[in-house]
Amino acid sequence: MSVSIITNALTIDVEDYFQVSAFAPHIARSEWNTRECRVERNINGILEMLARHDTKATFFTLGWIAERYPNLVRQIVKEGHELASHGYGHERATDQTEEAFFADIQLAKIVLEDLADSEVNGYRAPSFSIGTGNLWAFDCLARAGYRYSSSIYPIRHDHYGMPDSPRFAYEVRPGLMEIPITTLRVLNRNFPSSGGGYFRLLPYALSRWMLGRVNGHDREPGIFYFHPWEMDTGQPRIAGISRKTRFRHYVNIDRMEGRLNQLLRDFKWGRMDQIFLDRFTKNVAVA
């Protein structure tokens, strides 16, 4: 199988700059309604970019955002993209009880489906916050009616990660798939190769090589993710954050749009549901 015929999954985590988990100690939830919201203009720019490249994607969207910008989620669906859930209020799964987590993911699914009149099959936990300590989250997702999750990052990281989990899609509960964020396996260690801050930090040629290696060597589709604020050079700067947080959030955001355009030219992209759920359904039928 050649790299050129593998369709990778392009995913966008629809949240605004002030909702980033690393900013939580500096921006109270009670302040969210008072902050300048930039997500609408950023998503419109992303939709225009995807249309130019004739590319479809999956938008993991907060219920909080959807309620405030219902026409935005309707436009996402109208243009042929997949609408999926990022939870309602961008709370890490690790910070919630099982009951609170279920209420959050159920509310988000209801809000998104009602506003967009579209089925929501997928979920991504904020900050990839499903791990060994809260695997009950998968039971909640199955009970809420989701068909897949993309919530585990099989790397070591100071804020998230489950390095010993499978690297590629698998059935984590009956009828529920987990589709981990893409990593490259080198010298018995998983390296991030799927977007976010790493994509902004590393040279583009290296990111391209890693994804191409997953396609060509592992013969698996990659899952690439980014946030609307990562290409927003005009976003307000948050005062009082640490040097580490400032670097992670703002590094190379001025280069992000150009790199994304190149990425869309270099690889074939599509929606999570069409890449993975169709394959899962066929596998079940064969079995």
Give just the sign of the alpha carbon dihedral 113, 115, 117, 118.
Answer: negative
CA angle 77/20/94 to nearest 5° reads 95
C-alpha span between 72 and 70 (Å, rounded): 5
Structural domain containing residue 142? 3-286
The per-residue pLDDT for 262 is 97
* CATH code for position 106: 3.20.20.370
How many structural domains does the chain have?
1
Cite the DSSP H helix spans in 79-187. 98-116, 136-144
Q: In the predicted model, what is the mean pLDDT of residues 77-99?
A: 97
Residue 227 has pLDDT above 60, yes or no: yes
C-alpha span between 24 and 149 (Å, rounded): 24
Report residue 138 as tokens. 């998968």
Residue 285 has pLDDT above 70, yes or no: no
- What pTM was computed for the model? 0.93
